[in-house]
Structure 1
Amino acid sequence: MRLTAHRIGTPLADQLYVTEGEIAADITKIMGEETAGLKDDYRRQVRDAGMGNRLANTWRSETYPKGGRSLNPAGYIWSNAPAIIDAFSRGAYIRPVGGAKWLWIPTRNVPARRRGGSYSSSPKRSNGTRMSPEEVELHFNAELDIVIEGSKGFAFIDVVSGLSGGYRRATPGRTQGRRGAAPRKAKPVLMFNLVRGVRMPKLFDLDGPAQKRANNVARRIQAKWG
């Protein structure tokens, strides 16, 4: 006896095509949901570590094929700040590069940049970040005084206290009290701590959440079509 697809109401090939499409749509949907969920997991880790929404939102995700469906969809997740994420996920040891002997760690006394490209020494640095040592010297029109003690160092600069907070250049008008203002004494203020290297704490777990989401994909597909 020979059986053909046309012995039932709808051709078998058409039924298989419809079923395959339904399976592909479900698998693609599951992949999209778990990919987005993994992105949220990573963002939550960043926020829980106290590193704020700005870094958390550098995590992005995409599901392929875009706007379509497939029996073999793929989820892709990345960060727009890969160096920072990598350092805190590995607990990396950061060393000076380019022949430098020290890492310069800014203190809270170092002013933040108010506008991009303010100083030619670092034209590509973004607003809001702390000034570099060269920028600090330009800003206060003074040289940093470096003190080395064993394996650590300290960089000070002579400044005067600002009337509304912070520090200002130690100009003659400020130190001598011109225009009726009280004289302000110039004093050394710590701007940078110098270290040979620094171990970044391991704050992020990338593998654990990724494996959990992969298991979720397999479990959900099995529950729906197994």
Structure 2
Amino acid sequence: MNKEKALENLDKLIADVEDARLQLSEHHIVKIIGISKYSTSEDVATLYSAGQRAFGENKVQDLKEKMNTLEELPLEWHFVGRLQKNKINNLIDLKPTLMQSLDSLDLAQELNKKLEAKNQKMNCLLQINSAKEESKAGVMPEVAVKIYKEILETCPYIKLKGVMSIGAHVEDKEVIEKSFNTTKTIFDELKPFGAKYCSMGMSGDFKLAIKCGSNMIRVGSTLFK
């Protein structure tokens, strides 16, 4: 991808985000995370030169490789994939800006234990399986608030910053919208407990997610095509 193409992609994405957020409120701010899992470090560097700063990876090893290759650029790195327990220490050492896929109380407790051993803290989002799909990770909506509060109380090395979810994997727009609204309702309930980010929306559904209240989107193909 050349810089011209990167600029074109980024400009179009920003225009679409602007359009969606203004339908909600002119005060609504949306953060864009470029998901680079199918792209090269060179592509990330090209998008950086076009103005994009935050990127996400879903495998610890890929995150490490890109962080090392691009260490001279002031990038903001997010981890967005399912974290295996045997990779926790590796992720801690990378010090991502935000770990978006904390998908269970069990994982939170294990992560907290290893963070404590290294005397480090990590910013995380609680992942919610808002569409209740078996193929997806995350806590069920009914217990999300309870688990969020439990992590706040029992995992002092984890700094919870909000919630993340993936829209329903269906064609029906109403079903997708319902899953986003479920997450947004939970997010609103958690705001008094420090929830700042409601991360939802990917390349195919980010406009709908923003209209439902998302303030952080995770887009890959839209930026890296």
Structure number having the greater helix percentage: 2
Q: Which has the larger radius of gyration?
A: 1
**What is the TM-score when the length of structure 2 is the normalising length?**
0.23
